[in-house]
Structures are given as structure tokens and as C-alpha cells.
Amino acid sequence: MKFGLLASVAGLALCAGAANAQELKFAPGEGDFNWDSLEAFAASHDFAGQQLTMTGPWTGADKALVESVIAYFEDATGASVNYSGSESFEQDIVIAIQAGSAPNIAIFPQPGLATDLAARGGLTPLADGTEQWILDNYSAGQSWVDLGTYADADGVDDLFGFFYKVDLKSIVWYIPENFEEAGYEIPETMEELKALTDQIVADGGTPWCIGLGSGAATGWPATDWVEDMMLRTQPPSVYDQWVSNEIPFNDPAVVAAIEEYGHFAKNDAYVSGGSQAVATTDFRDSATGLFGFPPECYMHRQATFIPTFFPDGTAVGEDVDFFYFPAYADKDLGKPVLGAGTLFAITDDAPVAHGFIEFLKTPIAHEIWMAQSGFLTPFKGANSAMYATDTLRAQGAILTDATTFRFDGSDLMPGEIGAGAFWTGMVDYTTGASAEDVAKGIQDRWETIQ
């Protein structure tokens, strides 16, 4: 039955057949949620008695969070949704599609597998008008359209993926107190960041902590640096050509981006422990240099997840903070952002599946998760005041200010390259090999798998 708007002492009195009250985290009228968007959606969508199956990579706490959003769809439409999370999602969804038992909706943690399944006829195009909606409502909308558009079994491009829940990588962590004591300002351009790096050295400090160690995955932090540098030295179209190998890995543009990373990582004066320590320092340990007294470094470029490895009791936004990894002022490439994210795709066509994608276009579908934890969105229509913390709000602002968003390039490359030759090549480069030789070696490897 349609969404009930009758508040009770328990928080919400629901119409018969709707979701249980305890499943709804927030009551209508509570806070500054866009409740009107839910009312309008409920008035135009009735899926009473219909079942919607959905699977994705979210388990544990994330499963509970996505189900807290799903509860509002159920209550607004009368549909019943069964979400199942799996740590082996990538394997499970392929098997399900091949067996003809796919769920209505699959939530992909990266576009690569969705691209492959679309080419095999395993995905259903999203409804007409979705592309224009994304262009109109998501910051850097064309980027999100491009990331969700794949060739079907006939080689025809169509929009198959709707991005929801985004991760941010283009940020630099620092200790505000250390900056204040030294008189350093937050750099707003790459030129200023390089000047700050030199100033810290001139003042007798060490600018950066960088660590590439990650067990069998050693090297991946350097690939993020290179990807960020590609977006700051080349147009997005060149980044796309690189990721798809339309231009070779040893193209001068790619070599130059690798050397931009090397500008920071291969200078003994710039990095804690010297450049040789970069390749052997575990990425989980590298950020701790920020917290030394005196500090072992002043800056650490890493994604939004790195606070997990900060010292116990560290308060983000107080003890440590972050700023946008800036772009070059003289290259006129706007504000590019590197990150990752999950996309929803229809794997078993049904009206209720398209209805859920329409639900994801409502501000409330974003705000419910925003108000809890671990969620960022490029949706300009969602109320940023609903982010649970100032930190999430500031990270969300980086997303909504972005002019370009690109997915982690190594995740889009063939596994032997993005999770193999690229990782090891960056270790070789960091420890002394030339950018040209490393890039040529990666390209040679790529050609053997084509």
C-alpha cells in the first residue's frame, strides 16, 4: 500500500501491508529530508504484491544500510524486495545469468563486469530518459553516463548502469595543527601543491608519506597516483583511451603522468624514509607518519577509507583533515576527481525493477543512507545537510564540485594489467627503472593478452 504519512508515538503509523515500522530509520517530517520526493514517487508507483530480487556485494553493516533504503521503496510501492549480499558477487552473478536465474537487479562494484555481461546480452537497457536525468542531476553528469554505457550483444551502445554510492580517491590528508604551526595554507592548485612541497623541505621537514606495500597487491597505491595525474595532465578522453588501450601504455602522455608521480615519490627529500622506502612501506602504515612528533611527514594522498588505519581515537575533521588533490591551474582541465562506485543494472527485466531505478532518482533514496554512514553521492538534488558528519559533507562537496569523474583505471583494465603488470611496474619505477621502460613493459604484456 502507498506510503503512510501518519506519525505515531512509535515514530510512524503505517498503512496495512507496508513495511514494519522498525525497518524505517526516519519518520516523515523528521529532519530536512526531501519527503516530498517520496510522496510524489509513491503517488505514481504501485507495485503491490510484486516481488523484486536484488543481489550485490554489500554484506554485514552495508547490507543493513542498503536495506534501510529499500524499506522506503517497499513502503511507498507495496513491493516486497529480497536483497542478498555476497562476498563472491562477481562469480555468483555470472553463474546466475548463465543459469537463467538472475535477480531482477544486480549491484556491481565496478563497471568492468557489467560491460562484459551487457556484451553477452545479460543486461536490460535502462528506461528512456534516464541518460538525460543523469546529465541534468549528477555533477559531471556526462562522466556517469559514459561509465554506465556499454555495447550490447549487437555492438550497439546503450545505458545499462545507474551509479549510486560513490567512493572518493582524489584527496590529501594532513594534520591541521601541524599546518597551522608551520604557517602553511591549503594548496588550491597543483602548482601551489608543488610549491608547498618545496617549502616544507626548505623549512627542514618532509612533505609526504607514501607506501606501496600491500602484500600480493603491492604497488596499487602508485597506480592511483598515476591515474590522478593522467586526469590532471590530459583531457578525460585521453584517460579513457589509455584505460581501453586505444593509446598504448607507453604513449608519451602516460609516461609523463608516471613521471608526475615520480616527481613526488622518487625525491629522497620529499618522502619519509627516502624514495627507496616507498616501495617497501605498507600503505596501511604509511599514514601514521602524519601523527608523529615531530611529524614524519605533512601530507598523505589516499582514498576516503584510510582513516581505518589512523591511530585509535583519531577524530577526522579535528585531529586530521583532508583537502582536494588539486588540478593544474595552467592546463584548464577543471576539477577532475578519481574514485570508484557501485552501479545498479537490470539483469532480469520487470516493471518493478525499472521502478526501483526510478526510486534511485529521488533525493530521499540518497539522503536516507547519507544520514547514516559511508555514503557519498554526486546527486545535486540531495540535501547535503543530511550527511551524517562534516567530513562526509566535505567529501560530498568535492564530488558535486567535480567537472569530471573517472573510475579507478586499473580496475577497468584487464586483470593481468590493472591488477598485475601495472602494480609491479610502478614498484619497478619507484625503485629505479625509467618510466619509459616500465610503460613499454606493461604495453608488451598487454599485447600478449589481446
| Confidence band of 61 (pLDDT split at 50, 70, 90) | very high
> Is pLDDT at 441 greater than 90 in this prediction?
yes
Considering just the CA atoms, what is the radius of gyration of the chain in Å?
23
| Confidence band of 29 (pLDDT split at 50, 70, 90) | confident
Helices (H), 204-345: 220-233, 236-243, 252-265, 275-278, 283-286
> Is pLDDT at 309 greater than 70 in this prediction?
yes
> Is pLDDT at 165 greater than 90 in this prediction?
yes
> Is pLDDT at 167 greater than 80 in this prediction?
yes
Domains of the chain, by residue range, sit at: 21-166+338-407, 171-337+408-448
Lowest-confidence region among 12-26, 31-45, 181-195, 205-219 = 12-26
Q: pLDDT tens digits for 260-283?
A: 999 999 999 999 999 999 999 999
| Confidence band of 16 (pLDDT split at 50, 70, 90) | very low
Q: Which fold has domain 21-166+338-407?
A: D-Maltodextrin-Binding Protein; domain 2 (3.40.190)
Percent with pLDDT over 70 in the chain: 95
> Can you say whether the dihedral through the CA atoms of 299, 305, 311, 316 is positive or negative?
positive
| Confidence band of 9 (pLDDT split at 50, 70, 90) | very low
State the average pLDDT over residues 52-72: 96
State the average pLDDT over residues 27-36: 91
What pLDDT score was predicted for residue 28?
82
CB 334 within 8 A of CB 233: no
State the average pLDDT over residues 139-160: 97
The CA-atom distances, in angstroms, between 184 and each of 178, 179, 203 are 8, 5, 11
Percent with pLDDT over 90 in the chain: 92
The CA-atom distances, in angstroms, between 279 and each of 275, 341, 401, 411 are 8, 27, 33, 21
| Confidence band of 6 (pLDDT split at 50, 70, 90) | very low
The angle subtended at Cα 228 by Cα 240 and Cα 202, nearest 5°, is 155
State the average pLDDT over residues 150-172: 97
> Is pLDDT at 104 greater than 60 in this prediction?
yes
Tell me if domain 21-166+338-407 and domain 171-337+408-448 are identical in fold: yes
Q: What's the CATH number for 171-337+408-448?
A: 3.40.190.10
State the average pLDDT over residues 234-252: 97
What pLDDT score was predicted for residue 119?
96
Q: What is the mean pLDDT of the chain?
A: 93
Q: What is the C-alpha separation between 401 and 403, in angstroms, rounded? A: 7
